[in-house]
A and B are shown apart, each in its own frame.
Chain A
Amino acid sequence: MLGRWTKAAPFTEPDLGLLQRRDPTALRRMVNRHHGSMVGLARSILRNAAAADDVVQEAWIAVIAGLPSFEGRAKLSTWMMAILVNKARAHARREGRYVPLLDADDPYDEVEGPERFDHTGHWRVAPDDLETLTPERILAGREVWKQVRDQIDRLPAAQRAVLILRDVEGADAAETADILDLSAENQRVLLHRARIRLRRALDDLSHRG
């Protein structure tokens, strides 16, 4: 029973040898696989879309140039995300706009708040299991994947950054806290808030469909 709920989403590592030999197909696959995460993370740190796009491009150039010397001590995706975060921070500092990632004031307790439950603590309306949401499905005039991406963009910056590193890039708690310079407890709380917010937003979306 436990295994069914706790098993991790599959994360496959690309063939490092192909990447280090600059195989164009492998490089393209790597860029496509991680570009959305890079953009989301850069926007969490820079809070300026144009600057984030510049930093992401700079990070990709550094990643591709650095691949031959990548020794595999960390997971490839974790190494790439660390490069991106360092570049984004350096950029923000240069512009005098560096803000550490914290969002203690987020009123997340209202996300699955008391109005969802009756006086005995049971659901008033059973939650949707979201099984009918597929990325390509059109709901309210747009593909589901675009709406999910919008919801991720709408998360508070620190929640978005943690969600991307943990759930999209498969980094563990310690790696995520380290890359984002967060305490272990903050990392845990931000991930929890991000996940229940996204889950709630998708529940609302599926009821609209």
Chain B
Amino acid sequence: MTCDQIPKLASSYIGRDLSAVIRLKFAFHLVQCKSCRAYMRGFLKARDLAVQSLQMPAPDALMQALGLHEDDQKVRG
């Protein structure tokens, strides 16, 4: 396997969605290739950043509309 095949297979690899033979070739390439290990680390890092970026606080106006704004609760409490 060569580096140019790694991006094409990366998503299936992390999803355990490759045949046993291709998976082994992929894993063997990673052991030997520093650049592709960096590619795969970045692949997983991109996923973590996607999660973190979409988990930022919801707008106050929405919390108010749902009756969940912290200030509302202090008034009621």
Question: Hey, which bits of chain A sit against chain B, CB under 8 A?
Answer: 1-2, 5-6, 9, 24, 27-28, 31-33, 35-37, 40, 56-57, 60-61, 64, 111-112, 114, 116-117, 120-123, 126-131, 133, 135, 144-146, 148-149, 152, 163-164, 167-168, 173, 188, 191-192, 195-196, 198-199, 202-203
Point out the residues of chain A lying under 8 angstroms from B31, CB to CB: 1
**What is the count of residue pairs linking A and B with beta-carbon distances less than 8 angstroms?**
157
- List of B residues within 8 angstroms of A145 by Cβ: 49, 52-53, 56
Cβ contacts under 8 Å, A33 to chain B: 55
B19 at interface by CB-CB < 8 Å: no
User: Does B68 lie within 8 Å of A195, measured CB to CB?
Assistant: no
Q: How many residues of B contact A (CB 8 A)?
A: 50
Quote the shortest CB–CB distance from B76 to chain A (angstroms).
10
> What are the residues of chain A within 8 A of B40 when measuring CB–CB?
5
- A111 to B10 CA separation, bound complex (whole angstroms): 14
30 contacts between A and B (CB under 8 A): A1-B30, A6-B16, A9-B44, A9-B47, A24-B73, A31-B58, A31-B68, A32-B55, A32-B58, A36-B53, A36-B54, A64-B66, A114-B4, A122-B35, A123-B39, A127-B35, A127-B39, A129-B39, A129-B41, A129-B42, A130-B49, A148-B49, A167-B47, A167-B51, A168-B51, A173-B15, A191-B15, A195-B11, A196-B11, A199-B43
> Would A148 and B50 be within 8 Å (CB), given that A36-B56, A121-B4, A123-B3 are in contact?
yes
Bound Cα distance from A57 to B44, whole angstroms: 31
User: B14 within 8 Å of A by Cβ?
Assistant: yes
Q: Within B22-49, which residues are at the interface with A (CB < 8 Å)? A: 23, 27, 30-31, 34-49
Docked CA distance A32–B39 (Å) = 31
Rounded to whole Å, the gap between the CB of A136 and the closest CB of chain B is: 10
A88 to B49, CA, bound (A): 26
